[in-house]
């Protein structure tokens, strides 16, 4: 395989993933941030998450068309929150 074909193949794979995400109403995790109380981290529609008494997770998902943000409570034991963002998530 010629090296000049690799970018074209990578673009085709990316487009197939986008179409699959759009058709399935699923989201794929691209970034996860844990925000502890006292940290300054502002999320649109949620405000400054650092003012909360509990740690939170900010999960950013690729939908095939855009990037969406979800905010979850953090819990190291998964009882009253999540210890990490789900890698694949359905729409809310």
Task: Report whether pLDDT(82) > 60.
Answer: yes
Inside any domain, residue 21:
yes
Inside any domain, residue 64:
yes
Residue in 57, 59, 61, 60 with CA at minimum distance from that of residue 80: 57
8-state DSSP, 8: H
Inside any domain, residue 83:
yes
Inside any domain, residue 92:
no
Number of domains observed in the structure of the chain? 1
Inside any domain, residue 40:
yes
pLDDT of 42-75, one tens digit each? Answer: 999 889 999 989 999 999 998 888 899 999 999 9
Which string of b and e fits 55-88 if b means at least 16 CB within 10 Å? Answer: bbbbbbbbbbeeeeebbbebeeeeeeeeeebeee
Residue in 52, 47, 18, 21 with CA at minimum distance from that of residue 35: 52
pLDDT of 11-48, one tens digit each? Answer: 888 888 888 877 888 889 999 999 999 999 999 988 99
Q: Which range of residues forms the domain containing residue 42? A: 3-87
């Amino acid at each position: 395989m010629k090296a000049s074909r690799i970018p074209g193949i990578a673009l085709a794979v990316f487009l197939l993933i986008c179409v699959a995400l759009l058709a399935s109403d699923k989201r794929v995790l691209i970034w996860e941030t844990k925000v502890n109380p006292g940290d300054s981290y502002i999320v649109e529609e949620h405000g400054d998450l650092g003012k909360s008494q509990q740690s939170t997770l900010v999960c950013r998902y690729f939908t095939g068309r855009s990037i969406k943000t979800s905010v979850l409570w953090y819990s190291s034991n998964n009882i009253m929150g999540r210890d990490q963002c789900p890698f694949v998530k359905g729409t809310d």
